[in-house]
Structure 1
């Protein structure tokens, strides 16, 4: 996981997750790794 880009989830609608990145976007087709109360989720 080199070149990590931090973003914030702005909205979830069903299976669609909107993520806002303040800087550069990560390369397309990369997984999103999310912390869910201490559990790691990979989207």
Structure 2
């Protein structure tokens, strides 16, 4: 498992040219989870 936390002034998620979600100033957290990860990795 890996995580990246980044301060942003704005961020949005776009899927097929449509904004699915957006935020203003705050934190953007990207988390990558592998099928090999278990509860101890969290």
TM-score normalised according to structure 2 size: 0.21
Query: Which structure has the larger Rg over C-alpha atoms?
Result: 2
Higher relative contact order (CA 8 A, sep 6+): 2
TM-score normalised according to structure 1 size: 0.21
Q: Whose strand fraction is larger, Structure 1's or Structure 2's?
A: 2
